Each structure stands twice: as structure tokens, then as C-alpha cells.
Amino acid sequence: MVVNTASKCGLTPQYKELEELYTQYKNLNFVILGFPANDFMAQEPGSNKEIAEFCTKNYGVSFPMMAKISVKGKDMHPVYKFLTQRLENGLEDNEVKWNFQKYLIDENGYLEYVISPTTMPNDPQIISWLNAK
């Protein structure tokens, strides 16, 4: 799972469910990659160090958190160009709507689902996908 994150967002408490999901499934070939981004109302203003400290202190995040990137616009990181462009990902064109949008990628690197930011990490669709793997 790839997810763009922010520390000062109304959806920030999803870190808790993301960590629970990671803890439950990490030994089953599952990983979450968090990509902090400041693209939505400047809700991730901190440095990489500050973001890491916030995630660890407040939510016990142990899944990999990457360096802060841009997930939209002219500065969009190549990872998000792959995730959002059908010519790259083979599934669909989409845009990152807000913080905590989730992308489910299979073990071969194929994008399978784009999950709304407001969908919780423990949503039945995500759990079913994980259990089918």
C-alpha cells in the first residue's frame, strides 16, 4: 500500500489504523509506504525529521515513511506519476484527491485499486484484498 500522509489533517488519525494494519499483515508479504506531502492546505509543513518524530511519538508508526514529496502538480514525484497515469500504471488515470489516498499494489508491482482518502485502512475492501493475497 502506498499512502500520502499529513500530520495536520483531519484524516491524520488514520495513522493508527495504518499501523494496526501493517502490524497485522507485515509478516504476510505486505508493506505500507507512507509519503508525507504538503500539497493540500499546507497540512504537512514539517521537516522529514519532524514528521518522523510526530509519527513515532503520536502513533507508534513502524511502517516505512519516505521523505516528503509532492503528489500533484508540476513537481509531482515519479512514484505518483506512476500511480496516477494509466499509461504508467496500466489501470486508470486518477488524481490524488486529498491526504491519505491509498493505492493497493500487488506483489508484482501492478496497481490494483485506488482507495479514497476517507476510506479507513481497516475497510472491508482493503481487508478482503489482503486476505485474498
Catalytic positions are: 9
- Domains of the chain: which residue ranges? 2-132
pTM: 0.96
Q: Which CATH number fits domain 2-132: 2.60.40.1150, 3.40.30.10, 1.10.1660.10, 3.30.420.40?
A: 3.40.30.10
CA nearest neighbour of 102 among 29, 8, 30, 28: 30
State pLDDT tens for residues 90-133.
999 999 999 999 999 999 999 999 999 999 999 999 999 999 98
Provide the pLDDT for residue 54: 98
When pLDDT is cut at 50, 70 and 90, the band that residue 77 belongs to is very high
At 63, give phi and psi (nearest 5°): -75, 155
